[in-house]
Each structure stands twice: as C-alpha cells, then as structure tokens.
Chain A
C-alpha cells in the first residue's frame, strides 16, 4: 500500500493522496464512533467487539478500505440500515451484518436493509447478511447504480423484502447461499 501510494504521489504530484495512504493503518474498533473515525482510504478496520448501531454507518468516497469482522456482528437493532456505501471500494471479511432496516419506497430509502451499495466496488467474503428488512427491496443487500460486487462464501439469509436486489450492476457470487428470504415485513426465523 505504501509503495503504491508513493508511486501514485510521484506520478500525480498530489500530496494529499500521499498523506492519506501513508496514514493508512490497522485500526481495532469496539463501538460505532471508533468505526466511523476509522473510515479512511487504505485503512483496515478490525472489529474487536459486536457493534450495536445508533444509526447507519455511512461509507462514502473511500478507496481500498478493508473491514475485518473477526466473527463479530454489526447490528442495527432494527432501527436503521447497517451500511450505506457509495462511490467507494472496500472489502468485508468474516463479518455478520444483521437487524438492519431500510424504510421507504422505490425512489426513497427503502432498498438494502443490511447493506445499500451504490456506485461502488465491493467484495464480501466469508460473511453473513441476515435478519434485515427493506420495504422496497433487497432486505439483506442492494447493489445499485453501476456497482461491481464479488460475493465469496457468503450467506444472505432470513431477510424480509427479498434477499439480494441487483439493479444495473455487475455481480459475481461464488460458493454463496441465499436462503430463507421472504417478501413479508417480518424476518423469518433463521437458525445458522
């Protein structure tokens, strides 16, 4: 990462880019405020505890961000969406995203209860997106507006409002499961 940033800085002569990537670091987080502060291009965020959200986590205009769940969950407690991601590239690993809620209609905020991804490039591996609700579509995950996604060994399960909604985007899923999703407004019971 450092080498790439140095090269980029030499080529482009943009000191800001150099500063941001040199500052890229491994950050352990235990709550939402720490997570939000760690959303910086090039960072690797390591969850060291379950995160109980007070509001949705917004990731926007960030490059090469990695989020390692280490088996911990991000839980929106059925009060908001878990993640809203736009104009970014990032990689989620070994994370559970659950109890998200996206309320609204087709033109509003009703897509992607667990995770809404727009204009972004995302990889999700070894993860669960479950027990989330979207009133418009994509209870677990919505990939929209020319996003690119790779899902590897990931389960989208027990969501309401459908499991995955893909709109004008490019998606590959490998060795992944989409299970027990429904179009009701109540998440089905899922044992995992």
Chain B
C-alpha cells in the first residue's frame, strides 16, 4: 500500500467511473495527481480529469504491481474521457502531464491503457508550458498504450478495455450488444433482442428473416 498518492488511488482494485469529474487536486512531490492506478482494472467513461498536479503523471499514473508473491497487471480503459490541463511539476523533463504509464518492473506484467475517443489537451510537464511530446503522455519501457477513435456507427467496442470494434450483429439473436460493458449480454426471460440490437424488448420473439442471419422480421 502506498499512502497519500492520487486524489483517487486504485490499488489492486476493480473500479468503474462513469460521468465523473476528478479535478484541481495537487499531490505535491507524489505521482498521480488525479488518479493513481496500481495493478488495478479500471474503466473510466465520459469522465473529466482536469487541472490536477503531481511530480509525475499529473492527471493519471498507471503501473502494474509485481512481487515474488503476486503479479497484477494494470488494465485501464478510457472511453470518451477528457484529460486536460493537468501538470507534472518536476522541471526539465517530460513527465506525463496528462498520463504516465510506468515502465514494466521485473516480475510484473505489462501495464496497458487504451484510450478510445478521448482528448489529451493542454497538459504540461515541468516548467515549460508547451506541448512537446511527453507533456501529454509518457509510456514507459514495456508498457502498452493505444489511442483509438471511437468505433464507427453500427459497431461497438467488444474488447474489454482494448479497442476491438465489432458489428452490432456479432452478438446475435437474444444477445444484445452492451455498449457500456463492451460485451454481448443476455436477455431476461420473457424478452428478446433482434440481431444487432442494443437492448432487450419484453414479449415473444418475432419471426426471423432467415435461419442464417437470425435478423428479426419486425414488419
């Protein structure tokens, strides 16, 4: 355990943040001004991380947890988030004003961050208020970081953290695409979903246009 780090500290936890604001916190001489994630599985959706400050990783710090006893990878999904105006205060270096993904330590799994449809803007590193590489994001040795645009219309992110766009129809009949969870769901009893749907409808299953595609005939 590490005390006094991160305005929000997620240490070996499972954490979901939806439509939240993490802002204006100052973790002087520490890391992860807004959020610190250590060996945790975190999803942040429609969340703003703004105006935070720390020595490194002003907005968000991510690292895996590894020791001889246990090994927990950090897996972070940022969906439609704004990471803006955060600051890493250590001068003269690029220390991840917005996001710092720490290197992979010996014995630890690779930390992974996938940012889907997010904006990283106006984050600063050190005393320099410019936007050189490293001010917004730093990716340490052995760490994984992917920036993706949101999935196109009629597709959804089915990758549980990593962007894997699939057509809505991939979930099939009776299994609607859960856009928030990034997975196919199941309809409760006495309801149904047509192929390509995102929700269940109460009632009996209507006819399908063909056995092959199972698309409901709603006409």
Contact = CB atoms under 8 A, between A and B. Distances in A.
Nearest to A190: B24
Interface in A142-163: 143, 161-163
A111 B28 CA distance: 19
Interface string A94-110: 00000000000110001
Interface stretch (A3-11, A33-41, A121-129, A169-177): A169-177
A160 B192 CA distance: 50
Contact of A175 (B13, B15, B19): B19
Nearest to A172: B16
Interface residues of A, number: 35
A184 B53 CA distance: 13
Given A137-B1, A161-B3, A171 B20 contact: no
A190 B123 CA distance: 24
B78 interface: no
Interface stretch (B4-12, B106-114, B128-136, B147-155): B4-12
B27 interface: yes
B4 A168 contact: no
A167 B24 CA distance: 23
A60 interface: no
Given A166-B13, A168-B12, A181 B7 contact: yes
B84 interface: no
Nearest to B6: A162
A183 interface: yes
A136 B20 CA distance: 25
Contacts of B20: 173-178
B164 interface: no
A105 B5 CA distance: 14
Contacts of B184: none
Contact of A180 (B4, B17, B24, B30): B24
Most-contacted residue by chain A among B2, B29, B30 (CB, 10 A): B2
A164 B28 contact: no
Nearest to B21: A177
Contacts of B18: 172-175
A102 B18 CA distance: 29
A173 B26 CA distance: 21
A98 B27 CA distance: 20
Interface of A: 105-106, 110-111, 134-138, 143, 161-184, 188
Closest 9 CB pairs of A and B: A137-B3, A136-B3, A183-B4, A181-B7, A181-B25, A163-B7, A166-B13, A172-B16, A170-B14
Given A170-B14, A174-B17, A178-B7, 8 more contacts: A135-B3, A162-B5, A163-B25, A164-B7, A166-B11, A173-B20, A178-B23, A179-B22
10 contacts: A106-B1, A111-B3, A136-B1, A162-B4, A162-B7, A167-B13, A173-B18, A178-B21, A183-B28, A183-B30
